[in-house]
Structure formats: C-alpha cells, structure tokens
C-alpha cells in the first residue's frame, strides 16, 4: 500500500524549538528525583548481592521455585468468600505494582504479564521479624518478586497469598510510572515496555495481533495454501509503486534494496508450480509516516493459480471475518473507544469510474481527456504529482468518494497506467482487474487478476522506466529476471496484499502506532 509523504509532527517546545527555562528546570528536577531513587535502589541491589549465599542469588537469581501462575490461581480460586482459606500452597512470581507497609502486616499486589493480579500478605507471625524487616527495607515498586504461601481470601474478599517465604526475582532500579495516571502517547510509543506494564489495552493489542496472525495462517492452511519466505534484501526493488530504502553489501560490493513487496518472488513460486502460496512479511518503504502509514510494516501477500480478482476478494473477506471471530468471537468488533463495527455479511463492490461519475454528476471514463480531469482537480484544489490519467482519477476518487464509505467496500477496476502488474479488464478497455478494499475509511487490502503475459508485462515495465527517468521516485524498474520467469508460463492467477498493522486497526479502532508493538519513532 502506498504511503503518502506528510510533515513531521510539531515539537512540544516553544516556537524556536528550544525548551523554556521552566521546562528545563522541571525536566532537571524530575531527572534528579529519578537519579536519587535509582541510587537508593542500587544500594539495595548491592545489599542483596552481598547477602547472597549461593551464586546466582541476590538481586538477580537465575531462577525461583515457581509452582503456579497468577492467572491459573485466579481461575481456580477467584470466587473465594472473604476470610476463606484453602489449605493449598502456591509459589508465584510477579511484578510489584502496589506496596503498602504497615506495622506487622504488609501488602503488595503482584502483576503477571497478562495483567492478572494477586495480593501478597506478609505478616510478622508468618515470616518472622527479620524477614519482615528485610521486606520493608528491600522491596520496591516495580521489583519482580517470588512469594510462596497458602492461597486465602482477605477480610475484604481479595484473593491473596499468605506469604511464608519470599525472594526478589529481579530488582528494578527505576521506579514505575504512576499506574493511576494515563501515560502520554509519546511515552507509550517510545517505552512500550512501560505501556505493557501500565495499560490493559496495550496488552490486549499484543494478544489480538497474535490471534489475528494465527487465524490468517489457519484460514490459508484450510484452503491448501503454502507459506514461504522471500528475500528482504533485493538487487531490484519491485512489486509495488513505492520509494525504497537502499543499503550496501560489503560481501558482494553492490547496492541493495530493502523489500518494498514480496510480489515478484511469490509469482516466481507460482511459475514453479506452487499454485497457492502466501507470505506474512516485513516491508520497508522510504516514504511518509502518519496515522495509517509506517516506513516498516507487516504485510500479507497471497497468490492463487486459476483464480482472479473476484475469487481473491472472496478469500480476503473470509480471512478478515475469520480474524474478527478469533479476536472478538463475532463479526461485530468493538473498537477501543467502544464503537461497534460490523464486518459481517457480503461486502459491497463498486466501480471506481462509476462511483466517481455518480459523485461528480457526469460521466468519467478511461477516455476522459486529461485536460478535463485537470480542470476538475484544479476546481477542487487538488495537486497531482506526476499527472497522468490514472493518478488524476485515483486522487479525484479519494476526494469525492472515499469519505462516504461506511461499510467494508471493494472498489473495483482501476486505471491501467497506475497498475503495471495487473491484467487488463476482460471487457472494459482502459482499466485493469484490480480492487482496493476500504475499511474504516482507509485502504486495507488490494487484489488483482495478475498480469501473466510476459510481452505486455515488458511493455508496462518499459513505461514505468520512462516515468522513473522523468523523476517519479515510486515507479518500478525493469526486472529482466522476473520477465524471464514469466516467459516459462504463469497460469491465470489472482493475488492480494493486506497490511497486518492495518488489519489490526480495522479490528481494534486504534492508530497504526498502537498496533505495531515497537514502531519506528524519531
């Protein structure tokens, strides 16, 4: 999917870009506070290491004797009555996210990686004076802690461990952020590990992504598709209209490109007889970054021999609906803001030229003169880079039609001059058998009846080379090796590509930086 160049977001500093005196003072005060806390924790680390009686003990033991997990204990004993005892001993580990030390009875909340919590109760009567004093002296918020003891319920009905034995599992040298205050978006993105500790939605996003990818693979396996891997480093970038990242191989003394798409290699596999093939991969495009685009992103591409853009649209709808079921248990997904979005049923299919004509009130076709399209674009204040017929039509369509799409919609039949790898339409001149799928107002996937005629493909590549020579940084290069593969014969094929990050956006309602676990930030 093509990314659009956008300006960098403004800084939060003053108009000159430099922080004010007050901002500097505030930052220095915060740093001094953290530094002081870190010094205190470093001293505790040293005491733990000095008191260790075995190698690997102290502040960072090699292991602790865990027998159960917090989620498992909650599942088994989560409905205990207040003041109940079980007679069951459990050894648990978790991160300290709440700590209250009061006299002869201390309390801590331990959190597991999935966000489940359990209370640890440390009493003088159970652990003795020395252990209780060490607890108060050595345990801090953020520490990973092992506790062992009987599973009980407190007087307030909170599931707890009455601690008989405890041990630091990993000493935290920096304090956690305030878990009762929402992290800023910048902190969430730059320090995702803190986001995962502090925010349930962050953890749900990671789980949903894993469930989604697993669902995609199941759907493909059920339809006899094979998953393969294609090169990330390529001597010729192709398979999409996008600006590549470049690098250099010392071993081969040659410039290489980071993959912008796996398409041309997957098609080689189809030529070789792998009739149903797909790849879930990382792509890199040296373009703009905004709420729906990232320079590095995950993408799915699939090719089905003896299919076309209609059959591949059916497959794409099934893939997305199966993923919705895996994540939400329903085709109606609930976004992070509480909005419900229906991905069920059969999705609309509209023609690009037909819907644009309806929106402007008069016919626009592949024969519409470029001058007429330019007049319409100028009237709407649209600036078209590298003005050719297809780019005018696509930009005008986005301007007039895209914003009115509410349901998932396949937009069919694109201009030929912007789709060099697509088969010409079987009955309409000047367009190709391509669709884009729009969900939530953004492009989620694209699909083709693939161009398999090597003669026409060469002509399209030559035209792309002319555009590149004219300064179009997104134009493709002529790929002789791919053309040679096509000359051995590629069967009629339907192909599709879909952004995994964007699929998560459609399922969750989140922006792309929230669906990528560790996004690239400046």
Q: What are phi and psi of 207, to 5 degrees?
A: -65, -45
Least confident of 7-16, 20-29, 54-63, 211-220: 7-16
Query: What local confidence, expressed as pLDDT, does residue 111 receive?
Result: 97
Provide the whole-model pTM.
0.84
- Go through the domains of the chain in sequence order and give each one's CATH number: 70-170 (2.40.50.140), 200-347+407-515 (3.30.930.10)
Nearest by Cα to 427 from 368, 372, 366: 366
Query: What local confidence, expressed as pLDDT, does residue 433 receive?
Result: 97
311-321 per-residue burial string, b: 16 or more CB within 10 A, e: under 16: ebbebbbebbb
Q: Are 342 and 331 in contact (CB under 8 A)?
A: yes
Q: Burial level of 83, CB count in 10 A (0-12/13-18/19+)?
A: exposed
385 is in an annotated binding site: no
Q: Encoding tokens for residue 412?
A: 């069919």
Please state the length of the chain: 522
Give 84-101 pLDDT, tens digit per residue.
999 999 999 999 999 999
Query: What local confidence, expressed as pLDDT, does residue 306 receive?
Result: 97
CA atoms of 438 and 398, how far apart (whole Å): 11
Q: How confident is the prediction for the chain on average, in pLDDT?
A: 89
290 is in an annotated binding site: no
Least confident of 405-409, 472-476, 491-495: 472-476
More confident call, 411 vs 469: 411
Query: What local confidence, expressed as pLDDT, does residue 513 receive?
Result: 83
Count of CB atoms within 10 A of residue 485's CB?
Answer: 20
* Mean pLDDT for the stretch of residues 271-291: 88
Q: Rounded to whole angstroms, what are the CA distances from 61 to 43, 50, 54, 110, 426?
A: 17, 13, 9, 18, 68
Nearest by Cα to 490 from 405, 423, 414: 423
Query: What local confidence, expressed as pLDDT, does residue 267 receive?
Result: 95
Q: Encoding tokens for residue 16?
A: 């000159």
């Amino acid at each position: 999917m093509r990314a659009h160049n956008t300006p960098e977001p403004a800084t939060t500093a003053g108009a000159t870009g430099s922080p004010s005196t007050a901002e500097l003072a505030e930052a220095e005060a915060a740093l001094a506070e953290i530094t002081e806390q870190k010094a205190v924790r470093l001293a505790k680390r040293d005491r733990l290491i000095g008191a260790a009686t075995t190698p690997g003990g102290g502040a960072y033991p090699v292991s602790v004797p865990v027998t159960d997990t917090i989620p498992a204990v909650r599942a088994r004993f989560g409905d205990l009555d207040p003041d109940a005892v079980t007679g069951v001993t459990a050894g648990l580990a978790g991160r300290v996210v709440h700590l209250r030390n009061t006299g002869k009875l201390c309390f801590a909340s331990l959190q597991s990686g999935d966000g489940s919590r359990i209370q640890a109760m440390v009493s003088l009567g159970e652990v003795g004076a020395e252990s209780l004093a060490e607890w108060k002296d050595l345990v801090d918020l953020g520490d990973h802690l092992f506790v062992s003891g009987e599973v009980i319920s407190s007087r307030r009905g909170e599931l707890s461990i009455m601690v008989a034995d405890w041990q630091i599992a990993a000493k935290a040298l920096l304090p956690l952020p305030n878990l009762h205050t929402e992290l800023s978006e910048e902190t969430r993105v730059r320090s995702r590990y803190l986001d995962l500790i502090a925010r349930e939605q962050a953890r749900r996003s990671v789980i949903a992504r894993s469930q989604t990818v697993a669902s995609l693979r199941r759907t493909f396996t059920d339809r006899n598709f094979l998953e393969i891997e294609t090169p990330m480093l390529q001597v010729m970038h192709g398979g999409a209209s996008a600006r590549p990242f470049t690098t250099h191989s010392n071993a081969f003394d040659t410039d290489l490109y980071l993959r912008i798409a796996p398409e041309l290699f997957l098609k080689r596999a189809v030529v070789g007889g792998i009739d149903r093939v797909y790849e879930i991969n990382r792509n890199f495009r040296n373009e703009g970054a905004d709420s729906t685009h990232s320079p590095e992103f995950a993408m799915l591409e699939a090719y089905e021999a003896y299919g076309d853009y209609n059959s591949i649209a059916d497959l794409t709808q099934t893939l997305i609906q199966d993923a919705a079921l895996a994540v939400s248990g329903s085709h109606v997904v609930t976004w992070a803001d509480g909005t419900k979005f229906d991905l069920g049923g059969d999705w609309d299919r509209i023609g690009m030229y037909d819907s644009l004509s309806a929106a402007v009130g008069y016919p626009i076709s592949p024969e519409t003169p470029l001058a007429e399209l330019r007049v319409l674009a100028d009237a709407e204040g649209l600036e078209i880079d590298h003005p050719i017929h297809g780019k005018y039509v696509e930009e005008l369509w986005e301007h007039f039609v895209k914003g009115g799409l509410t349901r998932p919609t396949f937009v069919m039949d694109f201009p030929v001059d912007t789709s060099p790898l697509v088969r010409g339409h079987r009955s309409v001149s000047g367009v190709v058998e391509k669709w884009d799928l729009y969900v939530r107002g953004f492009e989620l996937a694209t699909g083709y009846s693939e161009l398999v005629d090597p003669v026409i493909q060469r002509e399209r590549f030559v035209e792309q080379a002319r555009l590149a020579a004219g300064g179009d940084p997104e134009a493709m290069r002529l790929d002789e090796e791919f053309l040679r593969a096509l000359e051995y014969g590629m069967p009629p094929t339907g192909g599709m590509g879909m952004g995994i990050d964007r699929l998560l956006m459609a399922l969750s309602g989140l922006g792309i930086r929230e669906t990528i676990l560790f996004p690239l930030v400046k």
